[in-house]
């Protein structure tokens, strides 16, 4: 099967662009590169493909503008640089896209926003409205108020979550390396590019650290992104940012980089459940654990204890032996669950004075972790 068949029809694509692509040699912005991205997006839009961009570079631009060299892990300076750099970054993108007859819109996100159902729906509606108006959305994490992303993370994960939340068909991660290798190509001349990945577990041992002084996202974070894409039914490609017309070539099915193929994925509702902030926790026994893993349901008899204060319809962690194995939407509030924990389903009505629609306290609305 060739790459075009593997990709299928791509109606919406997310392009992740790292700092090292925008800041050549870590010292100056590459307007030629940004203009090339805009030109390729123009081509894809004219071909009927909707394009969203996740762009790094704000911190690097801000540090350069401020003339500051931060010490390792000096988070406040990097936050300040993000505040300065966001405007500069968007101005550069705006100029490049305007030269190609398009306008852009900025969406600054925090990871916490994705765990809130209403925020997730608002995001989806905003993106749809922007795309209908011909606007290219450009995402970045709000580094000026977040520290985890600056210190540990990357926009690889953010781009995968954006792809998942916006129902994209494909995520293209542009990198300073042209895909996943079975060794380190910088030190091992015999390292071979892996063109297709269908089983993530089989390649986790090949993930290494980032080789760039500007970017923070190494191959480990890209595999994490691939896992998110797998769950959402979105294919992912890692490709070399400096290659000619690489975005167009990747999206149109040319055999470039490494493609991570996914199955049908999980439903949008289960994706939201996985990312939602839990309002409490249910501690269950081994028998209930097997039922959750095998049948996606939880009966009251398997519940040992209940943590937190929550209502019917809230998301809770499902825990066994102090490990979170799943999340789910409960059919009963915390007070009622404490009253029926450990009981047979036939006793629900006598204990509570009413009974839900099924024997289970969580039925179907379970996302495994």
Average pLDDT over residues 102-124: 76
Residue 192: what pLDDT? 92
What are the Cα distances from residue 170, in Å, to 38, 50, 57, 234, 344? Answer: 18, 11, 22, 5, 46
How many Cβ atoms sit within 10 Å of the Cβ of residue 304? 13
Which stretch of DSSP H or E encloses residue 126?
Answer: helix 117-132
What is the biggest distance separating any 2 CA atoms in the chain, rounded to whole angstroms? 72
- Tell me which of 63-67, 150-154, 361-365 is least confident: 150-154
For residues 143-171, average pLDDT: 74
pLDDT of residue 134 exceeding 60 = yes
Which CATH number describes the domain made up of 278-368?
Answer: 2.30.130.10
Give the residue-averaged pLDDT of 225-232. Answer: 88
Q: For residue 319, what are the β-bridge partners?
A: 283, 324
Instruction: For residue range 301-323, list pLDDT tens digits in order.
Output: 999 999 999 999 899 999 999 99
Q: Binning pLDDT at 50, 70 and 90, where does residue 214 land?
A: very low
Domain ranges, ordered by start, for the chain: 3-269, 278-368
| Mean pLDDT in residue range 219-231 | 88
**Cβ atoms of 360 and 318 closer than 8 Å:** no
Domain boundaries 3-269, corresponding CATH code:
3.40.1160.10
The answer to whether the beta carbons of residues 275 and 288 sit under 8 Å apart is no
Identify the top-confidence range among 11-25, 38-52, 61-75.
38-52
**Residue 153, pLDDT above cutoff 50:** no
Q: 6-10, 62-66, 335-339, 354-358 — which is least confidently predicted?
A: 354-358
pLDDT, mean of residues 96-107: 97
Region 15-23: mean pLDDT is 91
5: Cβ–Cβ under 8 A, 6 or more apart, which residues?
Answer: none
Contact between 224 and 231 under an 8 Å Cβ cutoff? The reply is: no
| Portion of the chain with pLDDT greater than 90, in percent | 52
Residues 130-138, mean pLDDT to the nearest whole number: 96
Mean pLDDT value of segment 265-284? 82
Task: For residues 172 and 160, give the distance between their C-alpha atoms in angstroms, rounded to a whole number.
Answer: 9
When pLDDT is cut at 50, 70 and 90, the band that residue 112 belongs to is low
For residue 221, pLDDT beyond 60:
yes
The confidence band for 267, taking pLDDT boundaries of 50, 70 and 90, is: low
- The whole-chain average pLDDT of the chain stands at 87
90 vs 23, residue with greater confidence: 90
Is residue 253 predicted with pLDDT exceeding 70?
yes
Distances (CA, A) of 306 to 25, 200, 298, 348: 54, 34, 13, 16
pLDDT at 258 (0 to 100): 95
Band of residue 264 on the pLDDT scale cut at 50, 70, 90: low
Cα 354 from Cα 294, distance rounded (Å): 28
Rounded mean pLDDT, 74-84: 86
């Amino acid at each position: 099967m060739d790459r075009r068949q593997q990709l299928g029809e791509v109606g919406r694509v997310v392009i992740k662009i790292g700092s090292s692509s925008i800041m050549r040699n870590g010292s100056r912005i590459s307007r030629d590169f940004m203009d090339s991205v805009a030109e390729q997006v123009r081509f894809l839009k004219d071909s009927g493909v909707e394009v969203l961009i996740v762009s790094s570079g704000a911190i690097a631009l801000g540090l350069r503008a401020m003339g500051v060299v931060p010490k390792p892990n000096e988070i406040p300076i990097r936050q300040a640089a993000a505040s300065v750099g966001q405007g500069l970054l968007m101005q550069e993108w705006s100029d490049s896209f305007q030269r190609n007859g398009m306008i852009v819109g900025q969406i600054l996100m925090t990871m916490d926003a994705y765990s809130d159902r209403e925020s997730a729906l608002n995001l989806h509606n905003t993106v749809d409205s922007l795309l209908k108006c011909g606007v290219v959305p450009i995402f970045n994490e709000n580094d000026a108020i977040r520290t985890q992303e600056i210190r540990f993370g990357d926009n690889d994960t953010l781009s995968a979550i954006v792809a998942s939340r916006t129902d994209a068909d494909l995520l293209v991660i542009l990198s300073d390396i042209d895909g996943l290798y079975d060794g380190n190509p910088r030190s091992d001349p015999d390292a071979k590019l892996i063109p297709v990945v269908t089983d993530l577990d089989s390649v986790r041992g090949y993930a290494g650290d980032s080789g760039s002084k500007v970017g923070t996202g190494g191959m480990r974070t890209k595999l994490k992104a691939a896992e998110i894409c797998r769950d959402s039914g979105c294919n992912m490609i890692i490709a070399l940012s400096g290659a000619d017309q690489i975005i167009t070539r990747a999206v149109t099915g040319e055999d470039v980089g490494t493609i991570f193929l996914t199955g049908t994925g999980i439903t949008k509702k289960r994706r939201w459940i996985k990312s939602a902030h839990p309002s409490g926790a249910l501690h269950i026994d081994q028998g209930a654990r097997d039922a959750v893993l095998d049948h996606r349901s939880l009966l009251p008899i398997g519940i040992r204890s209940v943590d937190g204060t929550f209502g019917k319809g809230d998301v809770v962690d499902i825990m066994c032996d102090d490990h979170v194995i799943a999340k789910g939407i409960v059919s009963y509030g915390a007070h009622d669950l404490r009253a029926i924990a450990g009981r047979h389903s036939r006793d629900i009505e006598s204990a509570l004075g009413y009974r839900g629609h099924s024997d289970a306290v969580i039925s179907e609305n379970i996302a495994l972790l």
